[in-house]
Chains A and B, each alone.
Chain A
Amino acid sequence: MDATVETIQETKTNALEVDNVSHSFGTTQVLDNVSLCVPRGCFTVLLGPNGAGKSTLFALITRLYDNVSGEIRLLGMDVRRRPSLALSRLGVVFQSRTLDLDLSLAQNLAYHASLHGIPRAQAKTRAKFALSRVELEKRAHDKVRNLSGGQTRRVEIARSMMHEPNLLLLDEPTVGLDVAAREGVISLVRKLVRDKGLGVLWATHLIDEIEPTDNVVVLHKGKVLFSGTVPQLQEKTGETDLADAFRSMTGLSQLEME
Chain B
Amino acid sequence: MSVHDIGEGADDIISKIKLMAPTSHLRGYLICSRGIIWREVLRFLHQRERFFSALVRPLVWLFIFAAGFRNVLGVSIIPPYQTYVLYETYVTPGLVGMILLFNAMQSSLSMVYDRETGAMRTLLVSPFPRWFLLFSKLIGGVTVALLQVYVFLAIAYFWEIEPDGPPLALGLHMGEAFYGFVIPAPFNGYITVLPALVLAGLMLGAIALFMSSVIKQLENFAGVMNFVIFPMFFASSALYPLWRIKETSPILFEICKVNPFSHAVELIRFAFYGQIDTTSLIIVTGFTFAFLGAAVYAYNPSKGLIARRGGS
Is B118 a contact of A96 with CB atoms below 8 Å?
yes
Segment 81-134 of B: residues with Cβ below 8 Å from A: 117-119, 121-129, 133
Type the 1/0 row for B24-42, where 1 means its CB is closer than 8 Å to any CB of A: 0001110110111011001
CB distance from A77 to the nearest CB of B (A): 6
Assembled-state Cα–Cα distance A84/B22 (Å): 9
CB distance from B126 to the nearest CB of A (A): 4
Among B42, B117, B125, residue most surrounded by chain A Cβ atoms (within 10 Å): B125
Assembled-state Cα–Cα distance A83/B133 (Å): 14
Of the stretches A62-70, A183-191, A197-205, A237-245, the one at the interface is A62-70
Among A75, A102, A103, A116, residue most surrounded by chain B Cβ atoms (within 10 Å): A116
Q: Report chain B residues within 8 Å CB of A19.
A: 3-4
CB distance from B113 to the nearest CB of A (A): 11
Given A19-B3, A84-B23, also A11-B125 (CB < 8 A): no
Given A4-B20, A26-B310, A103-B42, also A65-B3 (CB < 8 A): no
CB distance from A36 to the nearest CB of B (A): 8
Is A8 a contact of B117 with CB atoms below 8 Å?
no
Say yes or no: is A110 at the interface (Cβ < 8 Å to chain B).
Answer: yes
Choose among B4, B7, B118 the residue that contacts A98 (Cβ–Cβ < 8 A).
B118
Say yes or no: is A114 at the interface (Cβ < 8 Å to chain B).
Answer: yes
Is A12 a contact of B22 with CB atoms below 8 Å?
no
Q: Report chain B residues within 8 Å CB of A66.
A: 301-302, 307
Is A7 a contact of B5 with CB atoms below 8 Å?
no
Is A14 a contact of B31 with CB atoms below 8 Å?
no
Is B32 a contact of A85 with CB atoms below 8 Å?
no
Is B23 a contact of A88 with CB atoms below 8 Å?
yes
Number of interface residues of A (CB under 8 A): 65
Say yes or no: is B21 at the interface (Cβ < 8 Å to chain A).
Answer: yes
Q: Report chain B residues within 8 Å CB of A63.
A: 124-125, 301
Closest to B133 in A: A115
Choose among A12, A65, A100 the residue that contacts B302 (Cβ–Cβ < 8 A).
A65
Choose among A76, A115, A120, A163 the residue that contacts B6 (Cβ–Cβ < 8 A).
A76
CB distance from A86 to the nearest CB of B (A): 8
Assembled-state Cα–Cα distance A56/B164 (Å): 58
Closest to A112 in B: B122
Q: Report chain A residues within 8 Å CB of B47.
A: 102
Known: A8-B17, A77-B14, A114-B35. 12 other contacts (CB 8 A): A4-B19, A8-B13, A11-B13, A12-B7, A13-B13, A14-B5, A63-B301, A66-B301, A98-B122, A114-B31, A118-B22, A227-B1
User: A residues within 8 Å of B by Cβ?
Assistant: 1, 4-5, 7-8, 11-14, 17-19, 25-26, 30, 35-37, 39, 55-56, 59, 62-66, 73, 75-77, 80, 82-90, 92, 94-98, 100, 102-103, 107, 110-120, 163, 227-228
